[in-house]
Amino acid sequence: MASVSHSIASESTMASQSVESTITLYKIVLLGDSSVGKSNLLLRFIRNTFILDSKPTIGVEFFTKTVQIENNKLVKAQIWDTAGQERYQFIASSYYRKAVGAALVYDVSSRKSFEHVAKWLKVAEENCEPGCTMMLIGNKIDLPSENRQVTFRDGQEFAERNGMSFVETSALDSTGVSVAFQQLVQEIFWVQSQKEEEERERRRSLGMDGGSLLDHAEEKKQDNLNSSFKLNPYGPRQDHRKRGCCGGGSS
């Protein structure tokens, strides 16, 4: 009986791993000045926790969470928390590659952090994937109203001008946090699904739906070789050596 139960457990584990491997993963980065609350936003979303005396992030770290979106579809959000300090930007920017989503975070009690959002937007546009889905997040709305330096309208207008969604949050009391990340992941799914559909249409229009991109690339390579042979009866390799010996090539 023990061996049977072990076998069932193994099959169950393998099935679980198989299902897990089919879940789409989206890389998302958090960008913004130091101390705007990026790390606590991430901790609140992933673990529902908050660290009152959290230290500034050094370099980068990431967490992964499975998120349910429309039609009960599951996707994985791999969210990277990046350092806001200038001296760590060279390190952090290398981790933005392959990111299809970005949350630009500012502190509603810090006008300067809001003014710097334009800089972070440029960083995201230059380093993330083309067409990266962006969201603007105004954090720390739990602070007393007299401390607020950035109005809701300020954030909303910036987001509208730059074609992104906007949410105000409090990592301290969790207001808006799940809504923000859930909405960002959903928007990423819509954008990526559209890109995939456009790629399928492009391949169909080129008559490539019957074979892989690799197959068609190999066919094109063979066509080029055949054309080269017709032009040079000694073959492309000998032609290449001939050019090299005459000093016509360049390194």
Q: What is the pLDDT of residue 236?
A: 42
Q: What is the pLDDT of residue 51?
A: 84
Q: 98, 27 in Cβ contact below 8 A?
A: yes
Q: What is the pLDDT of residue 208?
A: 72
- For residue 133, give both structure tokens: 């889905």
Q: What is the pLDDT of residue 177?
A: 98
Hey, what domains does the chain have and what are their CATH numbers? 18-200 (3.40.50.300), 212-245 (no CATH)
Q: What is the pLDDT of residue 94?
A: 75
Q: What is the pLDDT of residue 207?
A: 80
pLDDT tens-digit profile, the chain (251 residues): 433 333 323 333 334 444 455 789 999 999 999 899 999 999 999 999 998 776 655 556 889 999 999 889 999 999 998 764 555 555 556 788 899 999 999 999 999 999 999 999 999 999 999 999 999 999 999 999 999 999 999 999 999 999 999 999 999 999 999 999 999 999 999 999 999 888 888 888 888 765 555 555 555 555 555 544 444 444 444 444 444 444 444 44
> Whole-prediction pTM value?
0.71
Q: What is the pLDDT of residue 92?
A: 57
Q: What is the pLDDT of residue 235?
A: 43
What burial letters (b/e) apply to 181-198, b meaning 16+ CB within 10 Å? bbebbbbbbebbeeeeee
Residue with tokens 């390190």: 91
Q: 180, 103 in Cβ contact below 8 A?
A: yes
Q: What is the pLDDT of residue 62?
A: 86
Q: What is the pLDDT of residue 61?
A: 81
Q: What is the pLDDT of residue 220?
A: 56
